[in-house]
Chain A
Amino acid sequence: KAGVTQTPRYLIKTRGQQVTLSCSPISGHRSVSWYQQTPGQGLQFLFEYFSETQRNKGNFPGRFSGRQFSNSRSEMNVSTLELGDSALYLCASSLRLAPRETQYFGPGTRLLVL
């Protein structure tokens, strides 16, 4: 089975722009979570989607949004980019929305905001 894929792998944007990141989960997985990883703040939960519905949301401003499609693929969007949004964005998928489910991570998208 193919693993979690994320596109693009690297991205450079300027302040004020918006960006869309994509995540394709493992085939059959219906839950997708997004995390932001920075040297200063570490790993922080952004949101989780299951069956096209946002089920959980972390403590991020409204500039961060996401969605999930009927094939479980997910996108996250960041509008009005700020320098502090530079980070590695990780996507993880799991079979179901349940605490015991193992989350499998993608390679991440590294976003640099200039």
Chain B
Amino acid sequence: AQTVTQSQPEMSVQEAETVTLSCTYDTSESDYYLFWYKQPPSRQMILVIRQEAYKQQNATENRFSVNFQKAAKSFSLKISDSQLGDAAMYFCAYRDALDSNYQLIWGAGTKLIIKP
């Protein structure tokens, strides 16, 4: 069964600096999707970025980028120029591309604290 591991329960960063959140996953599949979701105190889960496993190019969305290492099964999220509004729980999630079961498999989350 696929698993997702986020080894950092909590991270803190100074405002305007860069922080990297780690995520590793385990799968025997070659085609899949990886996601980073953000859950602020309001509890609404918001998609930050998505990566397709068959694409070698790392996904980027404004200040958010990923470092996708398929062989190492690693999918880290880099947040540049951190802002107070980035404070939230960040969840890494995995989904098979070919299996008919499209459920998201989630990591335990990393709480990101932004220091002003």
- Closest CB of chain A to B6's CB: distance in Å? 10
B108 in complex: contacting residue of A42, A98, A103, A107, CB < 8 Å: A42
Q: In the complex, what residues of B have CB within 8 A of residue A45's CB?
A: 103-105
Chain B 54-85 near chain A by CB (<8 Å), digits 1 or 0: 00000000000000000000000000000000
| Contact between B43 and A100, CB atoms less than 8 A apart | no
Q: In the complex, what residues of B have CB within 8 A of residue A106's CB?
A: 44
A107 in complex: contacting residue of B42, B98, B103, CB < 8 Å: B42
Chain A 16-30 near chain B by CB (<8 Å), digits 1 or 0: 000000000000000
B44 in complex: contacting residue of A48, A58, A107, CB < 8 Å: A107
Known A43-B106, A100-B33, A102-B50; contact A56-B43, beta-carbon cutoff 8 A:
no
Size of chain A's interface in residues, with CB distance under 8 A?
25
Overall SS of chain A's interface: strand
At the interface, yes or no: A61 with Cβ under 8 Å from chain B?
Answer: no
Centre residue among B46, B93, B104, B109 by max chain A CB count within 10 A: B104
B102 in complex: contacting residue of A88, A98, A108, CB < 8 Å: A98
Chain B 26-59 near chain A by CB (<8 Å), digits 1 or 0: 0000001100010000111111001010000000
Size of chain B's interface in residues, with CB distance under 8 A?
28
- Closest CB of chain A to B86's CB: distance in Å? 18
> Which residues in window 30-74 of A have CB below 8 A to B?
33, 35, 42-45, 48, 55-56, 58
| Contact between B102 and A107, CB atoms less than 8 A apart | no
| Contact between A108 and B44, CB atoms less than 8 A apart | yes
A sample of 27 cross-chain residue pairs with beta-carbon separation below 8 angstroms, ordered by A number, consists of A33-B103, A33-B104, A42-B109, A43-B91, A43-B93, A43-B104, A43-B106, A44-B106, A55-B100, A55-B102, A56-B101, A56-B102, A56-B103, A92-B45, A99-B96, A99-B98, A99-B99, A99-B102, A100-B33, A100-B97, A102-B50, A103-B47, A105-B37, A105-B44, A105-B46, A106-B44, A107-B42
7 extra interface residue pairs, beta carbon distance < 8 Å, beyond A98-B102, A100-B52: A45-B105, A48-B103, A58-B103, A99-B95, A99-B96, A103-B104, A110-B43
